[in-house]
Amino acid sequence: DLEEIGCKYEQVAEISEFLLSRTKHRPHLGIICGSGLGGLADKLEEKDVFPYEIIPHFPVTTVIGHSGCLVFGTIKGVAAVCMKGRFHPYEGYPAWKCAMPVRVMKLMGVDTLIVTNAAGGINPQFKVGDIMIIRDHINFPGLGGSNPLIGRNDERWGRRFPPLNKAYDPNLIKLVERCASEINITSIMRQGVYVMVGGPSYETAAEIRALHILGADAVGMSTVNEVIFAHHCNIKVIGLSLITNKCVMNWDSNEEANHEEVISIAKKRANDLETLVLKIIENYTHF
């Protein structure tokens, strides 16, 4: 039954009304905090916090290092809503459910979204602790048939066949570059292509080589579903990846990726990313 697939407008509206009737904030800006990057949400002032468990129709996070709540407040005077903890396909959620909170943001008035994530560095020049501005993505699960827009298209959100070539807003990429330079972190700034993989197992050396050949600079298990929903409903997107590990490309290496390292590096290096996001908000005259 096609009615069973995808995201119901009425459910999203119900969630949005539930939240707006319990907070005075009217957010223009949405922020999705990646693994170990929840500190951004703590920077909000006059916080209203909603654990995912109490929000109707909302999924709950199941991963250690991703506590789950929506946080409303103001940041640099801008009304914002933060997702502290996000949903991943490897938890068992369909792509549309991982992205659904973005549509809730849309109905609440959000028009700009900053998505962050922890990612593995594939580009050999990338170092642990670098921040990559996402210029484009490769949606590996999506190319294989797992796109969040699968199912009947509701025109209230957007078009049936949306283009994605400007999904990461070019003007906002320039803004991020200017902000990075103002806070003197250009030496750790990179720009590149984020590839989403399904996970939860980390990639083999052969997979990393393949992804490298395909043009990916960093790899992770999130973000693209949220970006597709955002672009579909005309929300502007900034994507930032914190490089938490270097991906292993040769069979002789004894290094291996592990979640504890990803979280601990993300927490250690989250400071630069948080400062950058604050600067972006300060300099984004649109609000």
Which residues, 195 to 234, sit near ligand HPA by CB under 6 A?
202-203, 219-221
Cα first-last separation, the chain: 42
Per-residue contact track with ligand HPA, 143 to 182, x per CB under 6 A? ----------------------------------------
260-272 exposure pattern, b = at least 16 Cβ within 10 A, e = fewer: eebbebbbebbeb
Q: Are 208 and 122 in contact (CB under 8 A)?
A: yes
Catalytic, out of 259, 261, 274, 282 = 259
- Residues near ligand HPA (CB under 6 A), total: 13
Catalytic, out of 25, 28, 88, 137 = 88
Q: Smallest gap, in angstroms, from Cβ of residue 194 to ligand HPA?
A: 10
Q: In the annotation, is 249 catalytic? A: no
- How far apart are the C-alpha atoms of 86 and 105, rounded to whole Å? 14
Contact between 185 and ligand HPA per CB under 6 A: no
Sole residue written with tokens 């796109």:
147
Residues near 256 by beta carbon (within 8 Å), at least 6 away in sequence: 202, 248
Contact between 245 and ligand HPA per CB under 6 A: yes
CA atoms within 13 A on the CB side of 179: 23
Q: Smallest gap, in angstroms, from Cβ of residue 80 to ligand HPA?
A: 25
**Three-state secondary structure call for residue 194:** strand
Contact between 244 and ligand HPA per CB under 6 A: yes
Torsions phi, psi of 72, nearest 5?
-100, 150
Among 15, 71, 95, 118, binds ligand HPA (CB under 6 A): 118
Q: In the annotation, is 245 catalytic? A: yes
Which residues have a catalytic role annotated?
35, 66, 88, 90-91, 118, 221-222, 245, 259
